[in-house]
C-alpha cells in the first residue's frame, strides 16, 4: 500500500498478494460507487474483463449482503446460498467456497474484500480476521478518496430520490421496517406552488381551526396549575393563535401562488429572522411562541401533529433529538423504531426507547434532511444503519435478517425459565430496570428475579403537574401488585440535570449533570421527598420496602435521607398505616467522592447500587450525552475494572450486597466483565435479561475473574478486544 503509484495498480498488486498468501484462487475488491452500487474494482482469479463492469446493488448477491449488513460472511458452498447472484462475465461458477469482509471506515461501508476457492472448504476465524485486517488497511486508502472520489460519495447522499443509507450508533437493538414520520422540527414541504389559492386558503383555515382547538385544549389542561405570570404567558400564546395579522400575512403569501405549507414556512422564516435581531428577552420569547405555533400549524396542515390519528401503522420516527416525554406522546402501537440525529446510549430517550422495546439508532447525521416524510425506511439496529427508500435487494436481505431475528427470539425464550448459573455453579442475580407501568408485564416474560431499579421520575416527567400523595401511592401500589413476591427497589426522584420536570422552573445551569439534581434537590425541597416517601410506605402495605437514593455524594446526605424515612415512617404508623415488614435503604454509587467514604458508609446501608452511567461520566469527565465522546473512552478499560473490583471487594467484606444498574449491565460482554469484577447482581432492561443469561450460563466465573483481574492491570485504553476474543474462543455468546 505504501509503494505508491496509481491506485489501480496498487489494488491489482494487493489482490495478487492476498490470493497468494491465503492460498485462494480468487481475491477481489469491490468498491461502493454512487447510487450504492458495488463495482468489481480489482481481481485475481475472476475474468479480467469483469473488472469495472460487474456491478451489484447494495443487498444484492453475497457481496451486496456483506456491504449491507457490514458483517463478514464465510460459506463453504456459496452457490447454494439463497442470496447468491450469478454474474456470467466473472467466470465464478468454478469457485465454491467464499469468504468476504466489509471494507469500512467507522459505520460507513466503502467496499468489500472477497476470497474464493474451488473446493468446498471452510474458512477459519483466523483467516477471517486476517481478511478484516487487510480490509482495515484498504479502508484508509478508500477513505482518502483515492479509489472513489469523495465528491462521488457526496453526490449520492445529496440526491433525495436515490436510496440512502445512514450509519449511526445503536441505542437500542432490533430491526424494523415502516414509513418515515418526521418529528415536529423537521416537517418537509413537498409542494411549494399551488394552482388554486382559494383551495389553499380553505385548507389553511381548516388547519387553523384545528390548531386553535388543540391549543385551547392544551392550555385548559395546564391552566389549573399556573401562577399569574405563567398564565399570562400562555394567554399570550393563545392570543397569537388567534392573531389576525399573522394569519393575514400567511394568506397574502398564499395569494402570491404558494401552497399553504410553503406560506406558513415563509412567514415562520421571516419571524425567525426578526427574532434573531431582537435583544429584548421578553419580545424574543413572544416571537419564539409564534415560531412554535407556526410549527404546530404546519403539523396540522401536513397531518403530522404527533397524534396517533395520523400516524401510519408502521411509523419510523425521525427526529433531531427527543425528550423522553415527547417519545411517550406518540402512540406506541404504531411506532416501529426511532432514528435520531443526536443521542447517546445513556440519554433518557434511549432508556425509554429500550423500555418500550423500540429499535433506536442515534447519531444519524442528516437524517432529517435526507429522509422525507412517508419514505419507506428500514432500521437495522444490529449494525447501526438506516435505509431510506431501499431497493428490492435491500428489502429481501432485510426480510431474511428479520426471520433470523425471530429465530433468535425463540432461542432466547427458551432460556427464560432456566437459572442464571455459570458453568462453575455461581449464581448471578438478574434483575430488571423499570420506570413505567408498561414495563411491568415484561417482568414475567423476561425471567428477571425482581426489579433492581425502579426509576420513579419517569411518571413525574410525563405529567403536567407534580403528582400528589394519592396519585403516587396508586402508582406504586400497581408496581407492588405486579411484582408480586419479587423484590422491587424504588429509587427516589432523580430529576434535574438531563431530566427536567415540565412544571418545575429551574435556573439554567452551566453543568446540569453536576448541578442541582437528584438527592441534592429533594433534600433542599424536602416536601417532594416527604410526599414520595409517604406514598411508598402506604403502597408497601406491610411488604418489604426497598428504597435507594440517587447521586449520594456525601455520607451526611444519606444520613439526612434516612432521617426523613424514619420520620415519615413514625408519622405513618401514628396515622394507622401498616408499617412495611422491613425497610431496606441503599445508596446509589454514582459520584466518585463516595468511593472514599465507603468505610463509613457501608455499615449504615443495606445495599449499594452502582449507577454506572453517571459514575462513568464523572470518573472519565465525559458527558454521558455528548455524542463526540461516546467512542472516546471505554467502560471496558483498566481504570473502570479496577474501580469496580476494589469497590465490590470492599462491600463484600462488609457484607453489603452490590448491584450494578447502569446500561453496562445489559450488554453481555460488559456483564461478563462485571462478573469478573465480583459483581453478582445486575439490573438491566427487560430485553437484555435473556442474552445476558445465556452469557452467564456459558461462563466459568473463576476463569473470567482471573482474566478480568489481569486485564485491570494492563496499560491499555480498552480491553474490549481481548474480552471479545476470549468469549469467541470459549464459545460464550455475547
User: Of 669, 681, 683, 659, nearest to 718 (Cα)?
Assistant: 669
Residue 454 Cβ vs ligand PEP, minimum distance, rounded to whole Å: 11
Q: Which position among 92, 498, 572, 614 is part of the footprint of Mg ion (CB under 5 A)?
A: 614
Which CA distances in Å does 486 have to 413, 440, 450, 603?
Answer: 20, 12, 5, 25
Contacts of 197 (CB under 8 A, 6+ apart): 254, 255, 257
Tell the smallest beta-carbon distance from residue 639 to ligand PEP (Å): 17
- Kindly tell me which residue out of 611, 668, 676, 678 binds Mg ion, with binding defined by CB under 5 A: 611
The pattern of x and - marking residues 45 through 84 that bind ligand PEP according to CB under 6 A reads ----------------------------------------
The contact pattern for ligand PEP, residues 336-365, with x = CB under 6 A and - = no contact, is ----------x-------------------
| SS3 track for 546-614 | EEEECCCCCHHHHHHHHHHHHHHHHHHHHHCCCCCCEEEEEEEECCHHHHHHHHHHHHHCCEEEECHHH
380 binds ligand PEP (CB under 6 A): no
- Nearest approach in angstroms of CB 667 to Mg ion is 17
* Residues 68, 397 contacting (CB under 8 angstroms): yes
Stretch that binds ligand PEP, among 80-88, 289-297, 396-404, 606-614 (CB under 6 A): 606-614
Per CB under 6 A, contacts with ligand PEP among 555-594 are 590
Q: Are 372 and 350 in contact (CB under 8 A)?
A: no
Rule CB under 6 A: is residue 613 a binding residue for ligand PEP?
A: yes
Say whether residue 611 binds ligand PEP (CB under 6 A): yes
Q: At what angle do helices 260-277 and 281-302 cross, to 10 degrees?
A: 170
Active site residue 348: yes
Q: How far is the CB of 349 from Mg ion (least distance, A)?
A: 15
Each residue 635-674 as x (binds ligand PEP by CB under 6 A) or -, in order, gives --------------------------xx------------
Binding partner selected for residue 455 from Mg ion, ligand PEP, none, CB under the kind-specific 5 to 8 Å limit: ligand PEP
- Strand-pair partners of 546: 489, 584
Which distant-in-sequence residues (6+ apart) come within 8 Å of 340 by Cβ? 168, 171, 318, 319, 320, 321, 322, 349, 360, 361, 362, 363, 364, 367
Decide if residue 452 touches Mg ion (CB under 5 A).
Answer: no
Binding mask 567-606 for Mg ion (x = CB under 5 A): -----------------------x----------------
- DSSP state at residue 319: E
Query: 19-49 burial, b if ≥16 CB within 10 A, otherwise e?
Result: beebebbbbbbbbbbbebbbbbbbbbbbbee
- Check binding of 494 to ligand PEP (CB under 6 A): yes
492 binds ligand PEP (CB under 6 A): no
Determine, following the binding rule CB under 5 A, whether residue 663 of this chain makes contact with Mg ion: no
Select the binding partner of residue 612 from Mg ion, ligand PEP, none (C-beta < 5 to 8 A, by kind).
ligand PEP
Cβ distance to ligand PEP smaller for residue 268 or 491: 491
* Contacts for 327 with CB less than 8 Å, ≥ 6 apart: 317, 338, 349, 352, 353, 356
- The alpha carbon of residue 154 and the mean position of all alpha carbons in its chain are separated, in whole angstroms, by 26
- Enumerate binding residues for Mg ion (CB under 5 A): 590, 611, 614
Active site residues: 348, 661
- Enumerate binding residues for ligand PEP (CB under 6 A): 346, 453, 455, 494, 590, 611-614, 661-662
Amino acid at each position: 500500500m505504501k509503494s505508491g503509484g496509481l491506485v489501480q495498480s496498487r489494488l491489482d498488486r494487493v489482490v495478487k498478494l492476498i490470493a497468494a498468501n491465503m492460498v485462494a484462487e480468487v481475491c477481489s475488491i469491490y468498491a461502493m460507487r454512487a447510487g450504492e452500487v458495488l463495482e468489481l474494482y480489482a481481481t485475481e482469479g475472476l475474468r479480467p474483463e469483469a473488472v469495472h463492469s460487474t456491478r451489484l446493488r447494495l443487498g444484492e448477491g453475497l457481496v451486496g449482503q456483506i456491504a449491507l449488513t457490514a458483517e463478514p460472511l464465510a460459506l463453504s458452498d456459496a452457490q447454494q446460498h439463497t442470496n447468491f447472484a450469478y454474474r456470467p462475465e466473472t467466470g465464478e461458477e468454478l469457485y465454491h467456497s467464499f469468504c468476504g469482509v466489509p471494507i469500512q471506515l467507522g459505520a460507513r461501508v466503502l467496499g468489500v474484500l472477497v476470497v474464493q476457492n474451488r473446493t468446498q472448504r471452510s474458512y477459519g476465524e483466523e483467516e477471517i480476521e486476517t481478511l478484516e485486517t487487510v480490509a482495515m488497511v484498504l479502508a484508509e486508502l478508500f477513505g482518502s478518496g483515492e479509489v472513489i472520489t469523495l465528491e462521488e460519495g457526496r453526490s449520492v447522499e445529496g440526491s433525495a430520490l436515490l436510496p440512502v443509507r445512514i450509519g449511526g450508533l445503536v441505542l437500542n437493538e432490533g430491526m424494523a421496517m415502516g414509513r418515515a414520520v418526521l418529528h415536529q422540527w423537521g416537517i418537509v414541504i413537498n409542494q411549494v406552488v399551488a394552482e388554486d389559492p382559494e383551495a389553499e386558503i380553505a385548507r389553511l383555515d381548516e388547519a387553523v381551526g384545528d390548531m386553535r382547538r388543540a391549543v385551547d385544549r392544551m392550555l385548559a389542561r395546564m391552566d389549573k396549575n399556573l401562577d399569574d405570570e405563567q398564565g399570562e404567558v400562555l394567554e399570550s400564546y393563545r392570543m397569537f393563535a388567534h392573531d389576525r395579522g399573522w394569519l393575514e400575512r400567511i394568506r397574502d403569501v398564499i395569494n402570491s401562488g404558494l401552497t399553504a405549507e410553503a406560506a406558513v414556512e415563509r412567514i415562520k422564516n421571516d419571524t425567525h429572522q426578526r427574532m434573531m435581531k431582537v435583544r429584548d428577552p421578553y419580545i424574543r420569547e413572544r416571537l419564539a411562541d409564534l415560531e412554535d405555533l407556526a410549527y404546530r400549524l404546519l403539523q396540522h396542515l401536513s397531518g403530522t401533529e404527533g397524534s396517533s390519528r395520523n400516524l401510519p401503522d408502521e411509523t419510523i420516527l425521525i427526529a433531531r433529538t427527543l425528550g423522553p416525554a415527547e417519545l411517550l406522546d406518540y402512540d406506541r402501537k404504531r411506532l416501529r423504531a426511532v432514528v435520531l440525529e443526536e443521542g447517546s446510549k445513556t440519554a433518557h430517550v434511549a432508556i425509554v426507547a429500550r423500555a418500550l422495546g423500540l429499535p433506536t439508532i442515534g447519531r444519524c447525521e442528516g437524517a432529517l434532511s435526507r429522509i422525507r416524510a412517508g419514505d419507506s425506511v428500514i432500521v437495522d439496529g444490529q449494525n447501526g444503519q438506516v435505509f431510506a427508500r431501499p431497493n428490492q435487494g435491500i428489502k429481501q436481505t432485510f426480510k431474511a435478517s428479520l426471520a433470523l431475528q425471530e429465530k433468535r427470539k425463540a432461542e432466547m425464550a427458551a432460556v427464560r425459565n432456566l437459572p442464571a448459573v455459570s458453568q462453575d455453579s455461581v449464581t448471578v442475580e438478574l434483575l430488571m430496570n423499570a420506570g413505567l407501568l408498561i414495563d411491568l408485564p415484561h417482568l414475567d416474560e423476561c425471567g428477571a428475579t425482581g426489579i433492581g431499579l425502579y426509576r420513579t421520575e419517569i411518571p413525574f416527567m410525563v405529567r403536567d403537574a407534580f403528582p400528589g400523595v394519592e396519585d403516587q401511592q396508586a402508582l406504586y401500589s400497581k408496581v407492588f401488585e405486579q411484582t408480586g413476591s419479587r423484590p422491587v427497589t424504588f429509587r427516589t426522584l432523580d430529576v434535574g440535570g438531563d431530566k427536567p420536570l415540565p412544571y418545575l422552573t429551574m435556573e439554567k445551569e452551566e453543568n446540569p449533570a453536576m448541578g442541582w439534581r437528584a438527592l441534592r434537590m429533594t433534600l433542599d425541597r424536602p416536601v417532594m421527598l416527604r410526599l414520595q416517601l409517604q406514598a411508598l410506605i402506604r403502597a408497601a402495605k406491610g411488604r418489604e420496602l426497598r428504597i435507594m437514593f440517587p447521586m449520594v455524594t456525601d455520607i451526611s446526605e444519606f444520613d439526612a435521607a434516612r432521617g426523613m424515612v424514619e420520620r415519615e415512617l413514625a408519622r405513618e404508623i401514628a396515622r394507622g398505616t401498616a408499617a412495611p415488614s422491613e425497610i431496606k435503604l441503599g445508596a446509589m454509587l454514582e459520584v466518585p467522592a463516595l468511593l472514599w467514604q465507603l468505610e463509613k458508609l457501608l455499615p449504615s446501608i443495606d445495599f449499594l447500587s452502582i449507577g454506572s452511567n453517571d459514575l462513568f461520566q464523572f470518573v472519565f469527565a465525559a458527558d454521558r450525552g455528548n455524542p463526540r465522546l461516546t467512542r472516546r473512552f471505554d467502560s471496558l478499560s483498566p481504570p473502570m475494572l479496577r474501580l469496580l473490583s476494589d469497590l465490590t471487594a470492599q462491600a463484600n467484606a462488609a457484607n453489603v450486597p452490590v448491584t450494578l444498574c447502569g446500561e453496562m449491565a445489559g450488554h453481555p460482554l460488559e456483564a461478563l466483565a462485571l462478573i469478573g469484577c465480583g459483581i453478582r447482581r445486575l439490573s438491566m432492561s427487560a430485553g437484555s435479561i435473556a442474552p445476558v443469561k445465556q452469557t452467564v450460563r456459558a461462563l466459568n466465573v473463576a476463569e473470567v475473574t482471573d482474566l478480568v483481574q489481569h486485564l485491570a492491570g494492563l496499560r491499555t485504553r480498552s480491553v474490549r478486544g481481548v474480552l471479545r476474543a476470549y468469549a469467541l474462543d470459549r464459545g460464550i455468546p455475547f
